[in-house]
Amino acid sequence: MGCCDVQGLKPLDLAMQEMLASIDAVTETLTLDLADALDYILAEDISSPMNVPPFDNSAMDGYAVRISDLTQSMTLPLAGKAFAGQPFNGDWPLGTCIRIMTGAPVPKGCEAVIMQERTQVNGEQITFENIPPMHDNIRNAAEDIAIGQAVLTKGRRLTPRDIPMLATIGIDKVTVYRRLKVAIFSTGDELKNLGQPLADGEIYDSNRYSINAMLSRLNLDIIDFGIIPDNEVLLRETFIKADAVADAVITSGGVSVGEADYTKVLLEELGEIGFWKLAIKPGKPFAFGSLPNSKFFGLPGNPVSATVTFHQLVVPALAKMTNQVYTPTPRFNAIAATKMKKTPGRMDFQRAIYSVNAQGQLEVVSTGSQGSGVFSSLSHSNCYAIIEQDRGNVEIGETVTIEPFNEILN
């Protein structure tokens, strides 16, 4: 078949390629006031309708001068004032200077602005310490952005840096893609909601908290169906309801091979399996597929596996669904300062802590137990140590790839 390794596990890069290729992005757009557009995905290219700054203006509070006047005399009488928003529009006689404030348009003929700290003021007579270079302290029209220049492109997620950029060029409405609707539920008879006492064999549902928290970092609508017990009829009903209202359905649990693991069976019955079983650790039984109206992401029940697979696979998939031009999180080489146990066969996303050592090098230590149920290992970490599929144990001093956590986990 050529798609999988000997254990029938699909390598992560192949799974990512297949998953992203099968995802269609939403096409519906809406027009929003700029102030409401944070975190939406831009559905248009934006070029500037104006120059920024729109006019030559002063970078300092001081005095507008002509250089030729200063070569005659270092003391010039004052001939007027220019404020930001109140330009000097009068006649500017030769041999005089104009008082000017930061941001005020420079008067016609001005060759430099001298900051007031470099002057002595004696009534209306201003004495300058030295002759400045041409154009000193003048901010040129269009030096930031020229009219017609490309500013932001389609597919950009609007950040707190982009909103003021668009305000600067006078854009008050933007066309963006609509928010995704994402349905989530946890499966498992053993799961209880917070606030309820635990009977023997029961645990709290923490996966919906991690999925909800990570989804909250993205700009989308969450429809939470709660905990669904391991009951095929109830699960089928919930799959159908979730698919009817959402663009993406995300579940946790029930994807393994146990007797109560119905997720894969229902996905096969109601839709189509894209893949199931990846060569990654944690997260081997991650399932991806299509339902009639939505894409389906089945996260493994183990809490670390659910978080890691959501972070590594579902976040890029949701980005594609919203038309976002997605930039992968940067990875770096670091020196292992502890041993890391690893069996060849799957790509490990071990939980680790990176820091800069006394020699200025990146170094990484393991957070200890790497069990998929040991959530404290993730809670204490600040990065993944990503150990290649075919590699074995990592010894102290070896180089290992790290991925510091991005804004989804921080």
Ligand X SMILES: Nc1nc2c(c(=O)[nH]1)N[C@H]1C(S)=C(S)[C@@H](COP(=O)(O)OP(=O)(O)OC[C@H]3O[C@@H](n4cnc5c(N)ncnc54)[C@H](O)[C@@H]3O)O[C@H]1N2
Footprint on this chain of ligand MOO (rule: CB under 6 A): 281-284, 300, 302, 305, 372
Report how far residue 251's alpha carbon sits from residue 233's, in angstroms, rounded to the nearest whole number.
16
Q: Residues 148-187 vs ligand X: string with x where CB under 6 A?
A: --------------------------------------x-
Return the axis-axis angle of helices 263-270 and 232-245, rounded to nearest 10°: 50
261 binds, among ligand X, ligand MOO, none (CB under 5 to 8 A by kind): ligand X
Q: Which is nearer to ligand MOO, 242 or 306 (CB)?
A: 306
Q: Which is nearer to ligand X, 303 or 316 (CB)?
A: 303
Report how far residue 238's alpha carbon sits from residue 18's, in angstroms, rounded to the nearest whole number.
27
Chain-centre distance for alpha carbon 305: 22
Least distance in Å: CB of 219 to ligand X? Answer: 24
Q: Is 10 exposed, middle or buried (0-12, 13-18, 19+ CB in 10 A)?
A: buried
Nearest to 299 by CA among 232, 265, 250, 231: 250
69 touching ligand X, by CB under 6 A: no
Q: Which is nearer to ligand X, 31 or 212 (CB)?
A: 212
Residue 130, token pair as written in the block: 């030295």
Nearest to 30 by CA among 15, 20, 40, 17: 40
257 touching ligand X, by CB under 6 A: yes
Report how far residue 222's alpha carbon sits from residue 180's, in angstroms, rounded to the nearest whole number.
9
258 touching ligand X, by CB under 6 A: yes
Q: Which is nearer to ligand MOO, 271 or 285 (CB)?
A: 285
Q: Residues 114-133 vs ligand X: string with x where CB under 6 A?
A: --------------------
DSSP 212: H
Least distance in Å: CB of 226 to ligand MOO? Answer: 23
DSSP H or E stretch at residue 363: strand 362-366
* Interface with ligand X (CB under 6 A), residue from 303, 348, 384, 403: 303
Using CB positions, name the residue nearest to ligand X. 301
Least distance in Å: CB of 370 to ligand X? Answer: 12
* Interface with ligand X (CB under 6 A), residue from 69, 205, 247, 403: 205
**By CB under 6 A, which span of 73-81, 83-91, 281-289, 363-371 interacts with ligand X?**
281-289
Q: Which is nearer to ligand X, 287 or 352 (CB)?
A: 287
Q: Is 155 exposed, middle or buried (0-12, 13-18, 19+ CB in 10 A)?
A: middle
190 binds, among ligand X, ligand MOO, none (CB under 5 to 8 A by kind): ligand X
What is the number of residues in the chain? 410
CB 23 within 8 A of CB 295: yes
The secondary structure of the chain in percent helix, strand, coil, rounded to multiples of 5, reads 20, 30, 50
* Interface with ligand X (CB under 6 A), residue from 57, 305, 350, 381: 305
* CA angle centred on 316, ends 173 and 25, rounded to 5°: 55
Taking residue 332's Cβ as centre, other Cβ atoms within 10 Å add up to 13
256 binds, among ligand MOO, ligand X, none (CB under 5 to 8 A by kind): ligand X
* Interface with ligand X (CB under 6 A), residue from 51, 57, 238, 252: 252
Least distance in Å: CB of 343 to ligand MOO? Answer: 11
Using CB positions, name the residue nearest to ligand MOO. 372
Cis peptide bond upstream of 11, omega within 30 = no
* Interface with ligand X (CB under 6 A), residue from 22, 175, 231, 256: 256
Report how far residue 253's alpha carbon sits from residue 262's, in angstroms, rounded to the nearest whole number.
9
Gyration radius (Cα) of the chain, Å: 31
* Interface with ligand X (CB under 6 A), residue from 84, 94, 167, 203: 203
**By CB under 6 A, which span of 110-118, 137-145, 213-221, 246-254 interacts with ligand X?**
246-254
191 binds, among ligand MOO, ligand X, none (CB under 5 to 8 A by kind): ligand X
Residue 94, token pair as written in the block: 């030769």
49 touching ligand X, by CB under 6 A: no
284 touching ligand X, by CB under 6 A: yes
Q: How far is CA 204 from CA 171, 215, 282, 339, in A?
A: 48, 20, 20, 33
The contact set with ligand X (CB under 6 A) reads 186, 188, 190-191, 203, 205-207, 252-258, 261, 282, 284-285, 300-303, 305, 372-373
